[in-house]
Structure 1
């Protein structure tokens, strides 16, 4: 597979992951009330990073936004910051990837485009790690409360938004790694090609007669030395 095809595949994976991560932030079901040990269910509680809601048996939902940002739990504030950072990093990663890919005609020469594409890959990796940390932190809080025997309040289970966020994070990380490796492969191939070309240039001479840059021709005898040589042997 050529480096250009790898770049296109990496861009598609990274962009798809960024879209999934972006759709996770406003998704409703980050956590859903658990039905474990419940015989009759009259209401379902669910919440996300912005509000908490309840849905009764008739399907009517009543939601309440979190009244104060500073009064929220620390893990919710951390998840908000990580998800917003992931979306911003993925946005800039898409722009840098479009500029740095070989199939586009912007970004300057090949060396500058390679640097921009590598920077885009690192940006996608950071975006995926940020969203992965946010979803994992939120899931850890849910599971710790669920398996805590001393926790007597309403227990929750993992919502669909967490699984979407994990999938998008993995796609962002994989796409960013592929983008970085495609640039590294192109640099390696160019280096090998230049080394092989220089080696073939040196090997074009016969064996034992390779031309050296610093090789100098043997010194020639001057006319005076030749005359002196013949003067010594003129009477022999």
Structure 2
């Protein structure tokens, strides 16, 4: 019963993390222009994995899609691949988890379900690691440019999408670990003890077979006394 509850908790946590990771990919604000050292802000620059935009003081945004995938910076291409891999792994992990959970009627025997659930946990952990790596790589690029005194172009700060991606990745990893821990709990089955009664002699077995038990054997000294032949 405890392992079933752990599997349900792991499934909910993992699915929540996967949804957060999936919502990170189309989110606009991966990086936002910094206001450090400026007195009057007339425009806000921001970008994500697919486009770069500028929003003026009236709230009107003008966006420009990245023209060519091959002409992009290496870190953006890597982040795209990692985030798409994270979303794909989370999708397959959710399907595998449905087959491996004890509360479902698919997946085969208990032993087969345990292996499937463990596989789902590993897939969710991989999904979380991909998302964590992609967001960290993007954030490293932003912080490197921000603290570089020789960098004279527009500097950016961390956007909201990065924090959402980190949160989703953490939930996926936690859910995958709980999946594996629930399998460990289900394998801890109690062992039945057997009492050892010792070897059974031939006489005692014959006595039991003929219905003779304890207290039914007669004592010859009690049947014949000294006046028996008088």
TM-score range (shorter-chain normalised) is 0.7 to 0.9
Which position in structure 2 is the counterpart of 1:168? Answer: 168
Distance (Å, rounded) in 2 between the aligned partners of 1:105 and 1:15: 20
Write the deviation string for residues 123-152 of structure 1: whole angstroms up to 9, x where unpaired.
000000000000000000000000000000
Write the deviation string for residues 71-102 of structure 1: whole angstroms up to 9, x where unpaired.
00000000000000000000000000011000
Distance (Å, rounded) in 2 between the aligned partners of 1:54 and 1:6: 46
Q: Give 1:28 deviation, angstroms.
A: 0.1
Distance 1:103 1:33, change over 3 A: same
Which position in structure 2 is the counterpart of 1:80? Answer: 80
2:182 counterpart of 1:182: yes
Work out the number of aligned pairs and report it: 201
What does residue range 76-155 of structure 1 map to in structure 2 within 5 Å?
A: 76-155=76-155
Distance (Å, rounded) in 2 between the aligned partners of 1:36 and 1:98: 49
2:15 counterpart of 1:26: no
Give me the TM-score of the superposition, normalised by structure 1. Answer: 0.83
Which position in structure 2 is the counterpart of 1:205? Answer: 196
SS in 2 for 1:64: strand
Q: Give 1:210 deviation, angstroms.
A: 6.1
Distance 1:102 1:66, change over 3 A: same
Q: Give 1:205 deviation, angstroms.
A: 2.2
Moved beyond 4 Å, runs of 4+ = none
Structure with the largest fraction of helix: 1
CA RMSD of superposed structures (Å):
1.2
SS in 1 for 2:182: helix
Q: Give 1:184 deviation, angstroms.
A: 1.3
Structure 1 unpaired stretches of 5+: 212-216, 218-236
Distance (Å, rounded) in 1 between the aligned partners of 2:118 and 2:38: 52
Give me the TM-score of the superposition, normalised by structure 2. Answer: 0.85
